[in-house]
Amino acid sequence: MEKKDECLILVDNSNVFIEGRKFSARKKGMPKTLTDQEPMDSSWRIDFGSLLKEVANGHKIIKAILVGSTPPPNDSLWNAAKMQGFEVKTYARSRFGEEKAVDTELVLSGIDAIYEHPRPAVLKLLSGDRDFIPLIARADKKGWDIELWGFSSSISYELALTVTREKHLDDVFDRIGRYED
């Protein structure tokens, strides 16, 4: 079996950010909300440079793509991600505040990158949504290894069955984020 030393990194920002905040809240022992919802630690932030380094794990990065919802105008989040090497793509939320087009963009960007690259590499997908099963099938068909990264509480069972390796962000949590006061 040929060793693949290159990787394509695809990040579903909302999935990593929201699940990271939930993981942090559990780690801190925060109680459920008054409406019995899982708490989220609003002080936790993704450190994009550390996330990229941790997930790449020595592989040469072909491309790193981060997709999410359009932030408020004064938010420096996407600039920070760009400065750390991510190609950033954002989409406006629906008028009801729902995220739209993010998973679709990740699938299409991933398929484009996989089919444009001259040889198989490693697809490192950071999400947990079943929506990515078609992307994984295409990558597998082209001979790519697939590494799924996500918080253990949010990875779809069906998605996990389709990948080469499953890695948990829980295990590297202290190295991929920071806290704001």
Please report the DSSP string for the chain in residue order. Answer: -PPP-EEEEEEEHHHHHHHHHHHHHHHHTPPPPTTSPPP--TTEEE-HHHHHHHHHTTPEEEEEEEEEEPPPTT--HHHHHHHTT-EEEEEPPPTTS---SHHHHHHHHHHHHHHHSSS--EEEEE---GGGHHHHHHHHHTT-EEEEEE-GGG--HHHHTTSSEEEEGGGGHHHHEEE--
Q: Which pLDDT value is given to residue 136?
A: 98
Q: Which pLDDT value is given to residue 164?
A: 96
The predicted model scores a pTM of 0.92
Q: Which pLDDT value is given to residue 113?
A: 98
6-27+38-179 has CATH 3.40.50.720 classification:
no
pLDDT < 50 stretches in the chain: none
